[in-house]
């Protein structure tokens, strides 16, 4: 005859085993830092290189009213990158066809016009559909999607979305800068 204590031990052992098996089968929720992509110039890029950093993911365009935000994004990147922060630019032609150029043209425009040094990646589709970037499919699971160029996702050190800032929120905005500072703590 089992005592109540040994029966409880048996139940706990079985429960622990079942939980361990379930966790091995369940796919882990990916983070931004689990994705691989390409740089703007076509070289392989592993976003895992940013694990442990706070990042700001921005869908960019060269011919948009918000394009001057490149200047503020570059300033943020230069100021905060020594402390574990990076701006990550993803050109997109989704809104108003304001990024029609080739990768080479985009890179040249960013370098010559705004002296962009933050990482820029290959052009992506941000809108839902069969050609949508897996990166933007992941980002949109936060409940936010860019509705225009220069939508900004603040990403935590673990690669998960902390906040979304719309296009009209400038890189100089006290609200954005405070959110970045809080994430870097």
The 10s digit of each residue's pLDDT in 99-140 is 999 999 999 999 999 999 999 999 999 999 999 999 999 999
Residue 110 annotated among the catalytic residues of the structure? no
pLDDT band, very low/low/confident/very high, at 15 (cuts 50, 70, 90): very low
In the chain, which ranges are continuous DSSP H helix? 4-25, 69-80, 103-114, 134-140, 174-184
* CATH code, 99: 3.40.30.10
**For the chain, how many structural domains are there in total?**
1
* Structural domain includes residue 159: yes
* Structural domain includes residue 71: yes
* Structural domain includes residue 122: yes
* Structural domain includes residue 149: yes
* Structural domain includes residue 13: no
pTM, entire model = 0.85
| CA angle, 110 then 113 then 119, to 5° | 25
Q: Which percentage of the chain shows pLDDT scores above 70?
A: 84
Q: What is the pLDDT of residues 152-170, one digit of tens each?
A: 999 999 999 999 999 999 9
* Structural domain includes residue 27: no
Host domain of residue 86: 32-184
pLDDT at 29: 61
> Tokens standing for 96?
């108003």
The catalytic residue among 51, 64, 84, 103 is 64
Distances (CA, A) of 108 to 115, 121, 130: 9, 13, 29
pLDDT band, very low/low/confident/very high, at 61 (cuts 50, 70, 90): very high
What would the mean pLDDT of 26-30 be, rounded to a whole number? 60
* Structural domain includes residue 76: yes
* Structural domain includes residue 22: no
pLDDT band, very low/low/confident/very high, at 11 (cuts 50, 70, 90): very low
pLDDT band, very low/low/confident/very high, at 60 (cuts 50, 70, 90): very high
User: Phi and psi at residue 39, in whole multiples of 5°?
Assistant: -70, 170
């Amino acid at each position: 005859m089992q005592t109540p204590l040994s029966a409880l031990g048996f139940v706990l052992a079985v429960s622990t085993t079942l939980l361990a098996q379930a966790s091995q089968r369940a796919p882990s929720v990916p983070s931004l830092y689990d994705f691989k992509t390409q740089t703007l110039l076509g070289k392989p890029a592993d976003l895992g290189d940013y694990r442990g950093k706070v990042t700001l993911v921005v869908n960019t365009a060269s011919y948009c009213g918000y394009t001057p935000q490149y200047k503020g994004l570059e300033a943020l990147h230069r100021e905060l990158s020594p402390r574990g922060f990076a701006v990550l630019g993803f050109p997109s032609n989704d809104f108003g066809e304001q990024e029609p150029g080739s990768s080479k043209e985009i890179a040249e425009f960013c370098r010559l016009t705004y002296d962009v040094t933050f990482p820029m990646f290959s052009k992506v589709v941000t809108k839902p559909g069969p050609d949508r970037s897996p990166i933007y499919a992941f980002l949109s699971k936060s409940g936010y999607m860019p509705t225009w160029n220069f939508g900004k996702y603040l990403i935590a050190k673990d690669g998960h979305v902390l906040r979304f800032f719309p296009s009209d929120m400038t890189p100089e905005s006290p609200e954005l800068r405070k959110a970045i500072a809080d994430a870097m703590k």
